[in-house]
Amino acid sequence: MLRTLVRLATAAILACAPVAGPAMAQDAPAAEVTPGGALNMIVQPEPPMLIVGLNTQGPTLYVAGQIYQSLLTYDASLNPLPQLAKSWEVSEDGLTYTFSLQEGVKWHDGEPFTSADVVFAATEFLVDAHPRWRLIAEAYVESVTAPDDLTVVFKMKKPFSAFLYGFELSSFPIMPKHIYQGTDYRTNPANSTPIGTGPFKFKEWQRGSFIHLVRNEDYWKDGKPYLDELYFRVIPDAASRSIAFEQGTVDVLRGGDVEGFAIRTLTALPGVESTTAGWEYFSPQMFIQPNLRLEVFADRNIRKAMYHALDRDFIVNAIFFGQGKAARGPFSATTMFHDPDLQQYPFDMDLAKKLVAESGIDLSKHPIRLMGLPYGSTWDRLAEYVKQQLEELGFVVTIQAVDAGGWLQNIGSFNFDLAFNFLYQFGHPAQGVSRNYYSDNIVQGTHAGNNQAYANPEVDALFTKAADAVNQEDAAAAYTQVQEILAEDVPLLWTFDMQNTTIYRDKVKNLVRTAIGLNEPMDDVWIAK
């Protein structure tokens, strides 16, 4: 509760008073820094493209985060920090947001970066190509204007309490107007040579092999970046990736690059450090999604029984090798407004069986398909475990083997019984949580909507009330209430808050500094000689 209050207070200050963004904390003393050198990383899987305005998947963001930038970034407690915006002001009524831009910023091709680029992104490029920005823009944004070259003003139709939390790279990437305006963004020939404002420039991409970025000599932060080169290597096999780190071919492993057990071995090596920080903004939460259209899952007691039948500590510790924490509700523990005091469903097979017996439903008459996530052996083990537990409860379970394409297809067309899924919560519930429960978000073609078909008018109303609140305390009250309802309804089986471990050699300094972790421009990163 205390943590929430502190966060609320900070958020309230930021939202109500004109505040200049705080300076970047703890720059290493210049004397120690040894500039130069190449940093080797792995990008897994190989991204389809680097145009972050058109594709915001993890691998794309990881590489493109060094090329493109956004207006803001966030610290580990999700307070906004300056990036291309030097400072910002929010009017008292929450209807006007004014951003002042950094001076002397240039695109990689030498063109100046101005407020016109931001307006182009906000009103043209992203409205067309970015799924999340479009929804926000349509619902809340009245106009975006550029009174001068270094100022951008967003006028709102109505207040949106999460607005300031949607300006990092994955939510609001700024694309060069002089290259894209008036073209077909997807087929623009310039897509093969990305042009951004970031600390590193695109040099070469040998598909299937590596992506090579080099230092941007004209970067807008003087004397930075420290590194000369970045290599993002493509190594499709997980075991090979862990060998690559062990042998020193790469110096950094991003969360998900290697399997859980390898994390244990690798972090035990001498000269290796690790951190789970740098994912606070994304706060990925894994959940098991029952299709509520099925009669058996429509029964709330059956859902509760299933929840009780899963030993989520075993899942985290034995299957995911400690990479996570059992979830305590619909909001990840690192998402804003998380309520730690919700109703809990601990592992209790007897209670689970009792709930089933009371429901009077014969589970064996409702055979179900379990669709796991196609992301490697750990997820396969989870599917095998869940199948075992549910069969003990009385279900007849078939695991549906799907590849990534098949998974998206099935979940997006509601063709599933019980599915594994995980979603980024993007710091703020209005960005990344409510989309799972809004009854008007039961839409096909996405894995990130209300695919289970949960409909509760009270929940809809509370989420809207919280999002539209001017005052953060009103938002907090509504969010607490909605979490309580959801915890009682169990429309999803929130399984665990995923943790991602970044592993790196200790000679790599300043690697993870913000809530977006490795997607942050590495302009402060240096390698000790």
Partner 1 sequence: MLSFTLQRIGKAVVVIIGVIILNFLLIKLAPGDPAAILAGEAGSGDPQYLENLRAQFGLDRPVPVQLWNYLSGVLTGDLGFSYRNQVPVLSLILERLPATLLLTGAAFAFSLATGVLFGVMAARYRGSALDSIITTLALVFYATPLFWIALMSVLLFSINLGWLPPFDMETIGAGYTGWRRALDIAHHLILPAVTLGLFYTAVYTRLTRASMLEVMGLDFVKTARAKGVPNKRIIRRHVLRNAVLPVFTFASMQAGQLVGGAILTETVFAWPGIGRLMFDALMQRDYPVLLGVFLVTAIVVVIVNFIADLLYRIVDPRIGIA
Partner 2 sequence: MQNLKRFSQNYGAVLGLVILGLIIAMALAAPLLFPGNPWRTVAMPLLRPMENPDFLLGTDMLGRDIAAGIAHGAKVSLLIGVVSTLVAVLIGVSIGALAGFYGGRVDDLLMRFTEFFQIIPAFAMAVVLVAIFSPNIVSITLAIAVVSWPGVARLVRAEFLSLREREFVQAAIVIGQSGPRIIMTQVLPNAISPIIVTASLMVATAILTESALSFLGLGDRNMMSWGFMIGAARTMLREAWWMSFFPGLAILLAVLAINLIGEGINDLMNPHLRGRKK
Q: Tell the smallest beta-carbon distance from residue 209 to partner 1 (Å).
A: 4
Residue 355, CA distances (Å) to 183, 326, 351, 417, 452 in order: 59, 22, 6, 20, 22
Chain positions contacting partner 1, by CB under 8 A: 38, 40, 45-46, 48-49, 51, 54-57, 131-132, 134, 186-187, 191-192, 206-210, 212, 229, 231, 233-237, 239-240, 243-244, 247, 249, 374, 403-406, 408-409, 411-413, 443-449
- How far is CA 313 from its chain centroid? 23
Residue 259 binding partner 2, by CB under 8 A: yes
Q: Tell the smallest beta-carbon distance from residue 194 to partner 1 (Å).
A: 12
Q: Which does 387 bind (CB under 5 to 8 A by kind): partner 2, partner 1, none?
A: partner 2
Q: Which does 398 bind (CB under 5 to 8 A by kind): partner 2, partner 1, none?
A: partner 2
Cβ proximity to partner 1, 63 vs 352, nearer residue: 63
Of the candidates 409, 516, 511, 375, the one whose C-alpha atom is nearest the C-alpha of residue 45 is: 375
Q: Which does 265 bind (CB under 5 to 8 A by kind): partner 2, partner 1, none?
A: partner 2
Task: State the DSSP H helix or E strand holding residue 280, giving kind and residue range, or none if neither.
Answer: none
Residue 261 binding partner 2, by CB under 8 A: yes
Residue 311 binding partner 2, by CB under 8 A: no
Cβ proximity to partner 1, 3 vs 134, nearer residue: 134
Using CB under 8 A as the criterion, what x/- string covers residues 390-409 for binding partner 2?
--------xxxxxx--x---
Distance CA 232, CA 145 (A): 37
Are the C-beta atoms of residues 213 and 230 closer than 8 Å to each other?
Answer: yes
End-to-end C-alpha distance for the chain, whole angstroms: 45
- How far is CA 470 from its chain centroid? 25
Q: Tell the smallest beta-carbon distance from residue 138 to partner 1 (Å).
A: 10
- Which residue of 143, 183, 209, 265 would you call a contact of partner 2, by CB under 8 A? 265
- Contacts of 464 by beta carbon, 8 Å cutoff, 6+ apart: none
- Which residue of 183, 206, 388, 439 would you call a contact of partner 2, by CB under 8 A? 388
Structure tokens at 449: 């909507």
Residue 99: strand pairing partners: 88, 152
Residue 113, CA distances (Å) to 84, 105, 109, 267, 524 in order: 9, 5, 10, 41, 21
Q: Which does 131 bind (CB under 5 to 8 A by kind): partner 2, partner 1, none?
A: partner 1
Structure tokens at 108: 């990689």
Are the C-beta atoms of residues 408 and 449 closer than 8 Å to each other?
Answer: no
Q: Which residues bind partner 2 (CB under 8 A)?
A: 238-239, 259, 261-262, 265, 318-319, 372, 374, 376-377, 380-381, 383-385, 387-388, 398-403, 406
